[in-house]
Chains A and B, each alone.
Chain A
Amino acid sequence: NSKVIQTPRYLVKGQGQKAKMRCIPEKGHPVVFWYQQNKNNEFKFLINFQNQEVLQQIDMTEKRFSAECPSNSPCSLEIQSSEAGDSALYLCASSLTANTGQLYFGEGSKLTVL
């Protein structure tokens, strides 16, 4: 039973549309990760936060993707202009520290870009 809550479970967008996903990390976990999992089950790290600060993000995230983890609000990942190649399962995970491999994942938000 996931304690990391992701919404929505499913998103369908047209190319060029915005897509926004939200994540509530497990209580007490200050570190949040976003991963993209493609149809071949491959994981791609996108960005991580400690509290409200970005720790690391990949180049893709810096361009069309934006993310934030505001205080007292859900974290979010937004794709400004969706492309077909963005169709994937977006997984949010949280952890107690940034250097652990023990991540607690949500069920994901499945994005389909038509």
Chain B
Amino acid sequence: GDSVIQMQGQVTLSENDFLFINCTYSTTGYPTLFWYVQYSGEGPQLLLQVTTANNKGSSRGFEATYDKGTTSFHLQKTSVQEIDSAVYYCAMRDWSSGSWQLIFGSGTQLTVMP
């Protein structure tokens, strides 16, 4: 079935380190892909989305490229800050059981040390 895979459960970095969070997806269609971020004690919020294959999305210094060839949508940031500590979810809009669904990955907890 359709799915979103995030293999990294936890990532710990120091400030100014480079961030790379893996995300791969599986579907027979042409999905829209998203990254959501959830800070402690808050609900998830949309970070960025990409509708078209081979396009890049960017927001707040984060970027992700929709790579249809490798079915990936990895999240990157050149220089993380302590305030970026949060859980990051890759998500895919998918047609399932007669309606649109948003399928979330299992999340990657990012901890940035000062």
Contact = CB atoms under 8 A, between A and B. Distances in A.
A108 B43 contact: yes
| B interface secondary structure, majority | strand
A84 interface: no
A101 B43 contact: no
A100 B43 contact: no
Contacts of B41: 107
Contacts, number: 55
B100 A98 contact: yes
Contact of B101 (A41, A45, A108): A45
Contact count band on A: 20 to 34
Contact of A101 (B38, B93, B106): B93
Q: Which of B34, B43, B98 has the most CB of A within 10 A?
A: B43
Nearest to A105: B43
B6 to A, nearest CB: 10
Contacts of B99: 48, 55-56, 98
A20 B87 CA distance: 27
Interface string B29-71: 0001010001001111110010000000000000000000000
Contacts of A107: 41-43
A91 interface: yes
A72 interface: no
A98 B98 CA distance: 12
Interface string A23-44: 0000000000000000011110
A88 to B, nearest CB: 13
Given A41-B107, A42-B106, A91-B44, 18 more contacts: A2-B42, A4-B43, A43-B104, A45-B102, A55-B99, A56-B99, A91-B43, A99-B93, A100-B93, A101-B91, A101-B92, A101-B102, A102-B34, A105-B43, A105-B44, A106-B43, A107-B41, A107-B43
